[in-house]
Amino acid sequence: MSAADKITETVTNNDVVLYMKGTKTMPQCGFSSRVAGVLNFMDVDYADVNVLADEEIRQGIKDYSDWPTIPQLYVKGEFVGGCDIITEMTLSGELDELFEKSGVTFDKEKADQIRAANQQ
């Protein structure tokens, strides 16, 4: 199975997928840590794929999305973005809207807490 086939299977079979450096419990870069931290805090159920464990997937995900950096978030099979985009979407409420529209369960109160903490 090719890297593209593995990626397609993963993003199709999971509502939310984060391709990251490390794992959701042990991120290995600051950008991956930020996105995983947001998803973990908001109690989103997501699959994490450690690109450091598989060089084919590490390059394959960049080719698949035509996006040069990791992490990469997918919701319902669609590429959403990397760290900066997810951060902006979290702070603007767009990520909440995407999760609601996609039927992804998350803790709205915790999402509001993130925004409140960043209003300083």
pLDDT value of residue 100: 98
Q: pTM for this structure? A: 0.96
**pLDDT tens, 89-111?**
999 999 999 999 999 999 999 99
Q: Which amino acid is at 61?
A: I
End-to-end CA separation in angstroms for the chain: 48
Instruction: Identify the CATH number of the domain defined by range 3-117.
Output: 3.40.30.10
83 is in an annotated binding site: no
